[in-house]
Chains A and B, each alone.
Chain A
Amino acid sequence: MVGLNEVEILLVEDNKNDAELALRSLKKHNLANKILWVKDGAEALDFLFHTGAYANRTSNNIPKVVLLDLKLPKVDGLEVLRKIKADERTKIIPVVVLTSSQEEQDRVNSYKLGVNSYIVKPVEFEKFVSAIEKLGLYWLLLNKPPQL
């Protein structure tokens, strides 16, 4: 388990198979050690806003990227995205929607809410792996976020 103060990637994914595949892909490139996997939208918000189970989290550490599924239990992905982008403390966090949905309306809504990227999970494993790898490399290594 990663230390809560060093989380670089927040993976919000209810499907444990998808999560495992994503973690495996990231692990191959040593990008998996600072990843926190939460299983629903409520937990994601708790982590980001220091509430609920994460109320005791003290540090101001924010992840370098949030990988967000759209169809989630409790609080759905679009709602999580809206809350992140609406709050001063979290709006600078890059959010990448990582979903199975090819629906145009989801894409449009996500972009309207200020998503930084929208990826449709490929069914084919190789393509999925390569997509996750590219994501991880891009957001963790290539992208330069503002220093806080």
Chain B
Amino acid sequence: MITQSDPRFASLFRSVSKIAGAIAIFVGSLVFVGWMLNISALKSIFTGLATMKANTALAFILSGASLRLLHGSGISQRSLRMAQILASTAVLIGLLTLSEYLFGWNLGIDQLLFKDTDSGSSPAGRMSFVTAVNFIAIGLALLLIKSRHSFALAQFLTLLAAFISMIALITYIYEVKSLYAVSPYSTMALHTALIFVVLSFGLLFARPDRGLMAIVTSDTAGGVTMRRLIPAAIGIPVAVGYARLIGERIGFYYFEFGLALMTVSSITLLIILVWWNSRSLYQLDIERKGAEDEVRKLNKELEQRVIQRTAQLEAANKELEAFSYSVSHDLRSPLRAIDGFSKIVIGEYHDKLDDEGKRLLNVIRDNTQKMGQLIDDLLSLSRFGRQEMRLSEIRMDELAKTVFEELKAATSQKNLQFDIKTLPSAYGDRALIHQVFANLLSNAVKFTRPNKDAVIEVGGWSEGDESIYYVKDNGVGFDMQYKNKLFGVFQRLHSESEFEGIGVGLAIVHRIIQRHRGRLWAEGEVNKGAAFYFTLPIIERRG
């Protein structure tokens, strides 16, 4: 069962429990003083009633102290041990006294502390049978209350003690003298019964978040019901019974009528109570249902909005695709015509053109070709951003090596030294990551071209939930103040006469890494080299 304990009630209950412990210690001590100074008001409250015995007072002090020691979430091992010793002593007192009753012997413990001269109990100074039983129950409950497995038993023992002492207490309320007639109770003092009740509640409230109390302190309808009905369930029968007794004594009615009156009053009061409680629960429930409906409605609206937005996004995406499709198709044809017909003019009208005319036509051709390259690169940028990712495990060092071999075959540079470290494997789209390496490595090759000895290094490591990879070269590098411009489309840090290119390569890398939910950054220094870092998240694969 999952119940959420309301922290306000939980802490209130804990305070009550601590106070209960303090009351037990306080009353126990008072009675002790009473025995020391022979003050009968402290021993029995009203003259003629049974006295609280010295051993009882001692056991109350022990139990109260133990209960207080057990409080606090992070109690020390020493306090716990101390609390257990105190509780065990209380159990021992109960057990020894019980054995005296059961076996008829006298262990000499009853008047060990003080001589009992004025009580009518026999044997003198001995606590009553039920008091002994109760100390065993309370003491054991104190020993078990912190344990995980026997907590239910601790609660049972607590309730047992509460049950036994309530009988004594209520009997005192109804009829002071009648206790003498019930032999096991015969010598239980009024304050003994009261302190037992107090201690039982103290024990129940000590751990408000567990067992039976978890529901009582919960912020659920069940918790509300419990908190309202339990005090009434205790109070109403006691009060109604008392009223009946008074009526009978005064002579308003006889026993049978009194019983009938008591029964009907109990029924009426309980029904009123249940009705009152149910009405508020009913209102709570209606409010809750209203709130649920509201939530459901909001959810539906939200869903609707998500659907709408998704449709809009899809439409925008489609439009974008259609756009790039027509760019791909329509922009290239005129370029081909310009290039083709220029070439035809150069070829077929060769003798009619002077050198300048030929040069100009070639300028036209150069530019159309560049434009073609531009369109291709732009389209591939958009394609890398759109195309569906096919994720798989990638051996990154193998992939880097493959890409480098491809590049090496295509370049005329001879002085390339390629240094590849061990790379952690990654999880991603192989074709896209291939493109990342292709762009980074071809940049590295390009920008080390002026070097006598070009060194390109690829490495990586895993850190936390991501793997970091880098491609480092000792080429022309870049000025760190331009590092924000590196990954923009058509951003270039070198003139075209130095290094060819149109500034799309790193933008593509950026987009691909973004799609893998990774990060990309660069470090560089002019004429010292550049290093490009990218991360890929480490994804837990199931199975």
**Residues in A lying within 8 Å of B, measured CB to CB:** 15, 17-18, 21, 24, 70-71, 99-104, 121-126, 128-129
Contact = CB atoms under 8 A, between A and B. Distances in A.
Nearest to B342: A125
B258 to A, nearest CB: 94
A29 to B, nearest CB: 15
Contacts of A100: 328-330, 332-333, 336
B210 interface: no
B329 A123 contact: no
A101 B321 CA distance: 12
B225 interface: no
Contact of B329 (A21, A101, A128, A129): A101
A18 B333 CA distance: 7
A24 B343 CA distance: 12
A101 B337 CA distance: 16
A85 B219 CA distance: 73
Given A102-B379, A104-B383, A125 B336 contact: yes
Interface string B313-337: 0000000000001001110111111
B7 interface: no
Nearest to B335: A123
Interface in B342-371: 342-344, 365, 368-369, 371
Interface in B485-511: none
Contacts of B209: none
A25 B332 CA distance: 19
A68 B339 CA distance: 22
Nearest to A24: B344
A122 B336 CA distance: 8
A125 B329 contact: no
Given A102-B379, A104-B383, A104-B387, A121 B328 contact: no
23 contacts: A17-B333, A17-B341, A18-B336, A18-B337, A71-B329, A71-B330, A99-B329, A100-B332, A101-B328, A101-B329, A102-B376, A103-B328, A121-B336, A123-B368, A123-B372, A124-B339, A124-B372, A125-B336, A125-B339, A125-B344, A125-B365, A126-B343, A128-B340
Contacts of B334: 17
Interface in B174-215: none
A71 B339 CA distance: 21
A102 B335 contact: no
A103 B335 CA distance: 18
A21 B376 contact: no
How would you classify the secondary structure of chain B's contact residues: helix, strand, loop or mixed?
Answer: helix
Contact of A101 (B325, B340, B343, B369): B325
A21 B337 contact: yes
Nearest to B388: A104
A15 B387 contact: no
Contacts of B328: 100-103
Nearest to A71: B329
Contacts of B341: 17, 21
A42 to B, nearest CB: 19
B373 to A, nearest CB: 8
Contacts of B343: 125-126
Point out which of B333, B337, B343 has the most chain A C-beta atoms below 10 A from its C-beta.
B333
Contacts of A21: 336-337, 340-341
Nearest to B376: A102
Given A100-B332, A103-B328, A17 B337 contact: yes
| 7 closest cross-chain pairs (CB), A and B | A123-B372, A17-B337, A125-B340, A125-B343, A100-B332, A21-B340, A125-B339
B188 to A, nearest CB: 93
Nearest to B372: A123
Interface string B60-79: 00000000000000000000
Contacts of A128: 336, 340
B333 to A, nearest CB: 5
Nearest to A126: B343
Contacts of A17: 333-334, 336-337, 340-341
Given A102-B379, A104-B383, A123 B332 contact: yes
Nearest to B334: A17
A121 to B, nearest CB: 6
A131 to B, nearest CB: 11
Point out which of A21, A70, A104, A124 has the most chain B C-beta atoms below 10 A from its C-beta.
A124
Contacts of B383: 104
A81 to B, nearest CB: 16
B508 to A, nearest CB: 15
A73 to B, nearest CB: 13
